Amino acid sequence: METKEILSNEIGFSMPRIGDKAPEFTAVTTQGEINFPSDYKGNWVILFSHPADFTPVCTSEFMTFAHLEEKFNKANCKLVGLSVDGLYSHIAWLRTIKDKIKFNGMKDIEVKFPLIEDITMNVAKKYGMIQPGEHKTQAVRAVFFIDPESTVRAIIYYPLSLGRNFDEIYRALIAMQTSDKFNVATPADWEPGKDVIISPAGSCGMAEERMTNADDLDCEDWFFCTKKLDKDLVLKEVLKS
């Protein structure tokens, strides 16, 4: 029995892996019913969960996501939130955020992306967002990056007490899009404009060629070669005009 099946049987939830198709569901949200991921095919999606409405860390995160929504949209990425609270709680909480809450220089923030009602925890269990060691009835701060073909490309999990780093979420999105567009990898702390990594040589001859004749490469050794990738070109390719 595979590890994924063992987790599903023993703990009561499944967890999609990188490379899996995003689990399908239909859900009521603050923006109407959605069929996921089919409604978002052709777009990147960040599906993220939070523990509960009317909690301070979650409030700070939703304000930040809403503030950055246009930036994510320009990168062909839609935002979809989830918690195990009900629709009317969601609506009341989002109204409170807009009418009363100030954070980090932001105020009057209107959350326009859908927030899923998941009282039954059906969606949270499909995505392994309920971590019994952390809490039995609240979703941890999960982030799923789902590509235009509805494939899970990256997963980040945070404990209930830790607010997410949104610069890193955006950086990861742009890095994965850059890898797809230019067939490269991105090194530690990569940002647009920094050098990218090319795949290791697949033969001795290719390794020798890279080390001696590849003028566009900077090779520290046969397996570690980088090249420049213009920032403007990256942004032109991955951002909507």
For residue range 168-188, what is the model confidence (pLDDT) as tens digits? 999 999 999 999 999 999 999
141 is in an annotated binding site: yes
**Is 141 strand, coil or helix?**
strand
Give me the residues of the chain with pLDDT under 50, please. Answer: 1-12, 241
Q: CA end-to-end span of the chain, whole Å? A: 48
The maximal CA–CA distance of the chain, rounded, in angstroms, is 65
Distances (CA, A) of 134 to 48, 82, 161, 186: 17, 17, 10, 32
Listed in order, the ranges of the chain carrying CATH 3.40.30.10 are 3-163
pLDDT of residue 211: 67
Listed in order, the ranges of the chain carrying CATH 3.30.1020.10 are 183-238
CA distance 65 to 59: 10
Cis ω for the linkage preceding 37 (within 30 of 0): yes
CA distance 140 to 232: 37
CATH 3.40.30.10 fits 3-163, yes or no: yes
What topology does CATH give the domain 183-238? Antioxidant, Horf6; Chain A, domain 2 (3.30.1020)
Pairing status of strand 224-227 against strand 196-197:
antiparallel
What are the residues whose beta carbons fall under 8 Å from the beta carbon of 120, sequence distance 6 or more? none
pLDDT digits (tens, 9 = 90+) for 10-42: 444 578 999 999 999 999 999 999 999 999 999
DSSP state of 37: T
**Catalytic amino acids?**
58
